[in-house]
Each structure stands twice: as structure tokens, then as C-alpha cells.
Amino acid sequence: MISLFSLRVGTITFSYSRIARMLWGSISGSPDQTTAAVIIFRLRIPRIILGIVVGGGLAVAGVLFQGLFRNPLVEPYTLGVSGGAALGISLGFLAGSALPRFSLGLFGFAGAWLAVSLAYSIARRRRFLKIPYLLLIGVMISFVCSAMIMLLLSVMNLSKFRAVIYWTMGSLQGADPALLRFAVPVILLGVLIAVTRAWTLNALVLGEEGAVHLGIRLEREKKILFFLGSLLAGTAVAVAGVIGFVGLVVPHGARLLFGNDHRSLIPASFLAGGAFLVLCDTLARTVLAPVELPVGVVTGILGGSLFIYFLSRDQREGEK
């Protein structure tokens, strides 16, 4: 329903009957060639698909990291993913306009992976991954990346400065098709692999010692969960920028509705994350139309408000 509503509304609003006629014409082999069809098929449908995949990927990454750290306040960007990606994008903008457009996403992807790889290599000692150290190191890497971004912004011209700032607020607008053809299958494959780790995440609820007693190969599974979550978050950031709160608030809402069993929590979080981001993107396009807000602004306001509500609700239930 949210996707259909997003398909309908915008600077130009279409009736559901007209959308149905255009979709049927496309299926039957007589596609509509009007401007309305261009808006629907080349702008809104790809944007909705991107919102579903990116939002779902960020939400599943949040589930993985929260299960790995056994901490409901951890989100994908805690480990330096967003800081590394933003630094990579800033370097891409600084390199100049000679680079093809899709290379900016590759810069972001590479920056995210360098950040998480650095965090992993520092936290890993004597073949054991120290989870508390990993969280602390990730936060520090985020601070270092933020400082380096400020340094780069200080030497950029105004147009590049504004482009970097806008990207760091997140947007589903104008993603490069070549990058999308890479990102969408990667995120969907990552979500499918995450479903296979549901038993591991359920076992980790008992703690590391309890998981070992249940036959979990703990060190191997920790590495898989860490890099899988980083892959989902890094790919999402590379194509859509830094979109906060999706990986934090959506898993909380999904747990309230579906419980803590990761066999149902992971698919539910993917669907809820996609729906949440599509809704936020629709609001970003329509609230101040024709001006478009960065979607990260909307997710920050709406997601932060929902998270405060969830926390206050949990506190009230705990006092009963």
C-alpha cells in the first residue's frame, strides 16, 4: 500500500486507475509513451525499488549487529560504516568531475569497507574477535572520519561542498543505474544469507558461552555476522548516502510485533525497513513540493520520534 501511495503522489499526482492502465499497457506490449509514463517507469518505480532494498538492507544490518553485540542501541553506522563511506565520497568529489558518476558510489563502498576492515583488524587479537573492543573502535573510527571530512570540506569549492553535505543527508534521487545493478542483487543476497544465520543469532541471546554449548562455532559465526552486516550497510550507503535511524528503530518495532525469534524477525525487518524508507522518501518528495528534502532528514525526525516512543513504552512496561 505504501509503495502504491508513493507511486501515485508527488509534484504531479496520478489516479490509481491511470497508473493501472499504464502498468497494464506495459505488460501487454503497448507501453504508454507520455510524460506521465516516463515519470512512473523511469523515476518513481526505480526509486521505490531502491527504497525497499536500501531500507530493508539497513534494517537487517541493524538486526545482525544488535544480535551480535547483544545491544539494542547498536546500529549499522556505529562501527564506522557511515563515516568511512562519507570520507570515501568526499575523496571522490575532491578528485574532480573527470570521474564517471557511478565511481562516487564505489568510493563510498570502498571507504565503508576500509573502515570496518580496520575496526576488525584492531579488535581481533590472537584469533579471537573482541566484541566490546570492536564497538569502541568503530565509534572512534567514526570520529576520525568525521574530522577528516571536515578537513576536506575546508579546502573544497562551494559546489563540491554542497554536494558532499547533501549526500551525507541521504537521498534516493538519481542513483546511477550501473551501481543499482550491482547493489540490488548484493543486498538481496545478503538478506538471504542473513536468514540462514537466524539460529546463530537466537543462540547468541544466551551469551557467548551459551552459544558455544549449543554447538555454535562462535568465532567463525561472529566474523560472518560482522562482515555480512557491514556488506549490507556499506552497499546501502554507497547508493543512497547516509540514512540514519532505519537500522536502529525498525528492528525495535519489528520485535514488538513479531518477537525475538530471528527466523521471523529478519524477514519482518526487511519488509518493515523497506516500507519505512519508502514512506519517508514519499514525505521528503511531497511535504515541501516542489522542493525535495533529503530523505535522511525525514528518517531522523520520524525515526528519532518513534525510538523515543519505544523507549518510553519499554520504561512504562518495566515499572508495572
pLDDT in tens, 100-152: 556 777 888 888 888 888 888 887 765 666 777 888 888 889 889 889 988 88
**pTM beyond 0.75:** yes
Out of 15-24, 71-80, 196-205, the most confident range is: 196-205
Q: ω before 185 within 30° of 0 (cis)? A: no
195-226 tens-digit pLDDT:
999 999 999 888 878 888 878 888 888 889 98
Q: Which residues of 25-42 are buried (b: 16+ CB within 10 A; e: fewer)?
A: eeeeeeebeeeebebbee
What average pLDDT does the segment 230-255 reach? Answer: 89
Cβ partners under 8 Å of residue 69, min gap 6: 131, 135
> Which residue do the cell numbers 543469532 mark?
201
Domain boundaries, the chain: 55-314
What average pLDDT does the segment 158-185 reach? Answer: 79
266-306 tens-digit pLDDT:
999 999 999 999 999 999 988 887 888 889 999 999 988 88
pLDDT class for 249, splitting at 50, 70, 90? Answer: very high
- The answer on pLDDT for 61 being more than 90 is yes
Rounded to whole angstroms, what are the CA distances from 249 to 55, 64, 172, 303?
11, 14, 20, 6
The CATH H-level superfamily of 55-314 is ABC transporter involved in vitamin B12 uptake, BtuC (1.10.3470.10)
